[in-house]
Each structure stands twice: as structure tokens, then as C-alpha cells.
Amino acid sequence: RRRALREAGARLGVSERAVLTLVLVHSVAIPRAEGLLPEDSWLSPHPTPVDELRRHTQLPIGELEAALRTLRHAGLLGQVKAGEEAGGYVPGPQFHRLTPAARRRLQEELILAAGPSTPLAAAVRTRRSAQ
């Protein structure tokens, strides 16, 4: 299973990885840091709107839309509607399959991506170098 996940990640291009990271940061990491999500959950009622993705990426709109489509088809992102609001993107069903160790590793990667110079990121790097 681990090899299959690595291979799926290797097939994603730079644009897809960047968009997936943005969605995970905005729909999971930020709400989790604000105490709105449990530590170990990748389910999120906090969709990342497309406007938010546009603001935080330098990808041309066509490339952003193609990356979102690829990620949806791979089950890595889900698209939700929020009534009259635009809705947005949340982690997809593939995240339900992660083992506890894989969830922990992904959480660490988000910490390093979202705040590489924070004390928490330094703690992650220190723990990893000790292993």
C-alpha cells in the first residue's frame, strides 16, 4: 500500500502537488490550528474556495483548473457546494485510507510546508534527524 501511495504521488505534477498542498493547508491545517478540527482527522467541513486558490498560487487559471480536475479524478480532492455560496475543495476519499503513521507523516509535511521557520517545524526536523 505504501508503494502505491508513493507511486501515485510521483505521478502528480508540480501543479497538482502545489494545489493539493494549498487545499490541505486551507481546509485542514488552518482549521486544525484554530481548534476547529480534531488532530487526527482529514475530513473537513471547511472547503477551500477557488478564489482562495487563485490568490495563493501563480498558476494560470487553466493550469489550476486542470490540476483540480486531475486531483478530483484521483480521489485526492472532493468538491463541495455550500448552499448559495461557491463552496470549494476538501480532501478526497483517498485520505480516508491513510494509516495512522501516514496521517502523522502528512501532518508533519503540512507543518513544514505551512510554517518552515516555526518552532513546531524545528521540532519535526529535530525528531526526524534523531530517527
Select from 21, 85, 89 the least CA-distant residue to 59.
21
pLDDT tens string 53-96:
999 899 999 999 999 999 999 999 999 986 656 689 999 988 88
Q: pTM, whole model, 2 decimals?
A: 0.79
Q: How many residues does the chain have?
A: 131
State the DSSP code for 3: H
Please identify which residue in the block is written with the cell numbers 488532530.
39
Q: Which residues pair with 90 in a beta bridge?
A: 78
State the Cα–Cα distance between residues 29 and 111, nearest whole angstrom.
8
Q: Structural domain boundaries of the chain?
A: 14-97
pLDDT tens string 9-28:
557 899 999 999 999 989 98
Q: What is the CATH number that goes with domain 14-97? A: 1.10.10
